[in-house]
A = this chain, B = another copy of it.
Amino acid sequence: MSHYDELMEFERQTQALGQIAGRLGWDQETVMPRGAGPQRAEESEALEHVLHARRTDPRVGDWLTAIDAASLGPVAQANVRHIQRRFDRTSRVPVKLAGEIARVTSSSQRIWADARAENDFKAFAPVLQKVVELKRHEAEALAIGGDPYDALLDDYEPGATASELEAMFDALRPRLVDLRDRVMGADHQPAPLTGTFDEQAQMKLTREIAKAFGYDMAHGRIDKAVHPFSSGSGLDVRITTRTSATDPFGSIYSTVHEVGHACYEQHIDRDYLLTPLGAGVSMGVHESQSRIYENQMGRSRAFTEWLFARMKDVFGPLSTKDADAFYGAVNRVTPGFIRTESDEVQYNLHVLLRFDLERDLISGKLAVRDLEEAWNTRFEKDFGVKVDKPSNGCLQDVHWSVGLFGYFPTYSLGNVYAGCLMKALRAQVPEVDSHLSKGEPAEATKWLADNLQRHGGLFEPREVVTRACGGEEPSEAPLLEYLEAKFADVYRL
């Protein structure tokens, strides 16, 4: 066997064990008996231990050194690039620091949850201070002289830099604030959908919609969980959803969102199974798929036309009188503090706020003790509303408590990518609206599968989006144009 083959055989087992770890997470959120938690914690820790040892195994370094990358084909080169990147990152962080981060973040999530329940930022600040310090040390170790925040960002969005994103987001923010103000001040305000909706019928409908969007039930399944998520790669990609009797859009759109993530994983070239190329290439590209399924397609006028008729079949008469009113109900923009409950207009403003604050936390420009005030000031500026309590403000997200700095911007990058991809898709599949209005997104999702999803980790994130867009570099313009046109229509601006 060549060094490359040896490396890949070892890597394949590591990937397989990683899939098991993911499935344990799925099990925990869906079917695990409620009293099994303490045992499960030990099981997961033991498996993480095995995975960490494999990822830092000195043989991996030896194989990487021995391989002559130039002599390899493009797929093999991409595999080596991914393994090298992960090996370098893991090797750069001192073992003691990595252990301390694992230890602190395993307890800080609970402290955060308690503080949020008590609406007490001061109870969370000391451990957040510790997490920020540790992540700063980690970032410095990873950056080897470069920008520490970029080094963290690179874990979720390889190749992206804060300054690039900053330019993109700075262009986004004023136009989103302006759109938000115009929408909020519009004379026409769509009414919400009201009523109660049988939850079993909701589950049945979400399955039907998931399949229509291309989710392959032979390689996946849908269960209920507290938080919707997608889990696994390759031949076993499961999603979860939740239902509420008064909010059917919750289950429908969270399902379409997760179907976007899951389809990306399911459609990756089967030759890449259990290799570094066999999973979505970055958080931003992943989010572009979930968002384009959920928003650009799922919340379009065309698809909601079909959905309006289908929901009348399933649930009987609806409170919205026609398809236009239903489209308005799906796309209502209302004031709100919570990112995860936000609409398309305000969502990125929530993210941009976090992006700016977390860069200042990592650079030290913003002290943890001043975070609450900084958050509230910025929120009022962008949203025109005073934050009433920390659980509606800087304590609402779990991310920072577990050390996820550099993750937030990938949500907005995903939206920007979704804007670019939808523009390219419309140019290539001009009948997309006519298909969506029949509840048939299959040709659009096939375009995404063929042009982006199937590549998995073969190309760098920005490159795969650029290729799908026919060589056009991603920019915020298509997303802004889409949002401005759509909400001018919904709100009759």
Binding site for B on A (CB under 8 A): 12-14, 16-17, 19-20, 23-24, 27, 31-40, 42-43, 45-47, 49-50, 216-221, 234-236, 238, 273-274
Contacts and interface: CB of A to CB of B under 8 A. Distances in A.
6 contacts: A12-B42, A16-B39, A17-B43, A17-B46, A19-B43, A20-B20
A91 B50 CA distance: 22
**Copies of this chain:** 2
Given A16-B43, A274-B42, A31 B31 contact: yes
Nearest to A14: B46
A36 B218 CA distance: 8
A50 B57 CA distance: 14
Interface centre among A36, A218, A220, A238 (most CB of B within 10 A): A36
A34 B274 CA distance: 18
A377 B12 CA distance: 50
B16 A42 contact: yes
Contact of A221 (B13, B31, B220, B234): B31
A218 B47 CA distance: 24
A236 B33 contact: yes
Contacts of A37: 235
A43 B31 contact: no
Contacts of A31: 31, 221
A31 B30 CA distance: 11
Contacts of A33: 217-221, 235-236, 238
Contacts of A36: 219, 235-236
Nearest 8 pairs of A and B residues by beta carbon:
A36-B236, A16-B46, A35-B218, A39-B235, A13-B46, A16-B43, A35-B219, A36-B235
A45 B24 CA distance: 16
Nearest to A36: B236
A273 B39 contact: yes
Nearest to A16: B46
Nearest to A24: B20
A267 to B, nearest CB: 14
A217 B33 CA distance: 7
A234 B24 CA distance: 17
A387 to B, nearest CB: 39
Nearest to A19: B43
A33 B219 CA distance: 5
Nearest to A219: B35
B35 A27 contact: no
Given A16-B46, A32-B236, 11 more contacts: A13-B46, A16-B39, A17-B43, A17-B46, A23-B24, A34-B218, A35-B219, A36-B219, A37-B235, A38-B235, A39-B273
B39 A236 contact: yes
A192 to B, nearest CB: 36
Contacts of A20: 20, 24, 43, 46-47
Contacts of A35: 216, 218-219, 235
A20 B32 CA distance: 12
Contacts of A49: 13
A155 B12 CA distance: 32
Contacts of A220: 33
Nearest to A54: B50
A16 B12 CA distance: 22
A47 B35 CA distance: 25
